[in-house]
Structure 1
Amino acid sequence: MRHVLSLIYGLFGTLVAWLAAAIGATALVYANAPGEVPGDVWAKTKLIGYAGLVVAGLILGFLATLRLSPAGPILAGVLLLAGQAVYENKPSLFQMAWLTDGLKLPKEALVYPASMYAPVIVGVILLTAAASAARWQTPKKETPAPTDYLASEPPLGSGYDPYGQQPIDPFAPQAPTYEPAPAVPSQPSMYVDDGESPTTMLPPPAGQKPQPPQYPHQ
């Protein structure tokens, strides 16, 4: 498919480039002509002449650098060289009145590019560009670069919780954390201090006599 599309580009691109070069050459010829220019010819200034040549150069440059397939540049180069050969043997074939009259150009407009021998230079350039070995290789698909994290894990800083499956809001208030309570002693003290009343003595274990409380000397 890419070869067919490249051939279409090469065919129509060459025809349009030849026509643009014919318009540009006609304008330059009439701009430098000492005599009067026919009134029905609009291409008669240097600005139009250079613009036509620039358009032709852009189209042919696109064909020369086309990465789609080398078939298009090869066809374009062959057509240009064939056009030069037709001009050398039978230039009357370029006098297409139906085209030149419709575009309001002189009948010899399509002959001007071949009379300057420009198709020889451009045709050889296109064939040389198509002869590159890199042009015949099928473009390889780019493989994605490997990542440092697993596909199942979100990248760092993405705000995604892989466990709760919920986005993490870094500005959301978090629940306070508490320190673990101290371990309860194996033998509780005999005295209980509730902070409000005097020290209360716990009842003695069964089988023991109660002992009077001892207070520190003040």
Structure 2
Amino acid sequence: MRHLWSFLAGLVVVPVTWVLVTLGQDGSAGTVNRWVEIGTSNTANLIEPAVYLAVGGIVLGLLGTLRISPLGPLVAGLLLITPYVGLFITPFRVRERIPSGWEFLGDPLPLRLPVENGTLFLIGMMLLIATFSGQRWRRWPVTVPQPVPATPDTPAPDPTLTDWPPVPSSAERDTAPLSLGYPDPDPTPTEPLPRRTGGGSPWSAPPGNLPRRDDATN
């Protein structure tokens, strides 16, 4: 399946590259020639042809360097070198087969230009060289994670009759007795409360030595 997609990509890249290279070369050559005629230059005029050439280079770079399948670069390279090779056999017939007088967004599109100056032949040979890598015809190896061997659980040692817990020392056994949290009683004895003598009633008159209320007011 990857070879099929690469083959279709090669068929699409050929006309796109031809058009972009033609626009870039014709625009660059026309701009520089105009500068020479008027004796001044404006670098902003080179932006449009530079964009065409940059996009064409990106498309060719993706097709030639991505290791998907070399079938696409092979097909594109053969198609791009065919017009130039045809110039060796029947140059006039090949030149007449290439359309002329086309325009793209109002700009002339001389498709014969990259064929006559050998640019398409150069690009096609570069794409053909990209197919000579034998590893590109193989599928990328898939890394399979290796299973980690499970470590066997070490069994717990069986307790024997001699494995008794250590006996606590005497210092650890002499601990304070448990309490409920109440404070310790005060060992100091308290004085007894005074008692009423004479068997009088607590509701009786005060002792005689105390002044009365009416005497105190007088």
TM-score of the alignment, normalized to the shorter chain, above 0.5: yes
Q: Residues 26-60 of structure 1, C-alpha deviation per residue, up to 9 Å, x if partnerless? A: 2112212349xxxxxxxx93221222111111111
Q: Give unpaired runs (5+ residues) of structure 2.
A: 36-43, 152-164, 168-176, 181-218
CA distance in 1, matches of 2:105, 2:146: 54
TM-score under structure 1 normalisation? 0.57
* 1:80–1:120 Cα contact (<8 Å) kept: yes
Instruction: Tell me how far apart the structure 2 counterparts of residues 29 and 128 of structure 1 sit (CA, whole Å).
Output: 29
Query: Which structure exhibits the higher relative contact order, with contacts defined as CA atoms closer than 8 Å and separated by 6 or more residues?
Result: 2
Q: Flag the 1:94–1:195 CA change in 2: closer, same or farther, 3 A.
A: closer
Partners of 1:66 and 1:73 within 8 A in 2: no
Give the whole-Å Cα distance in 2 for the aligned partners of 1:27 and 1:110: 13
Residue 94 of structure 1 aligns with which residue? 98
TM-score (norm 2): 0.57
State the Cα RMSD in Å: 3.2
Structure 1 residues 194, 33: CA separation in 2 closer, same or farther (over 3 Å shift)?
A: closer
Q: Which residue of 2 aligns with 1:51?
A: 51
Q: Give the C-alpha shift of residue 127 in structure 1.
A: 0.8
Report how many residues are paired. 146
Aligned residues of 1:14 and 1:60 also touching (Cα < 8 A): no
Displacement, 1:148? 7.4
| Structure 1 unmatched runs, 5+ | 36-43, 151-179, 183-192, 197-218
Contact 2:100 2:112 in 1 (8 A): no
Separation in structure 1 between the aligned mates of residue 26 and residue 7 of structure 2, nearest angstrom = 29
Task: Point out the structure with max Rg over C-alpha.
Answer: 2
Q: Which has the higher helix share?
A: 2
Equivalent residue number for residue 76 of structure 2: 76
Looking at structure 1, the residues matched to 132 and 63 of structure 2 have their Cα atoms a distance apart, in angstroms, of 13
The residue number in structure 2 matching 1:103 is: 105
Q: 1:49 to 1:195 in 2, by over 3 A?
A: closer
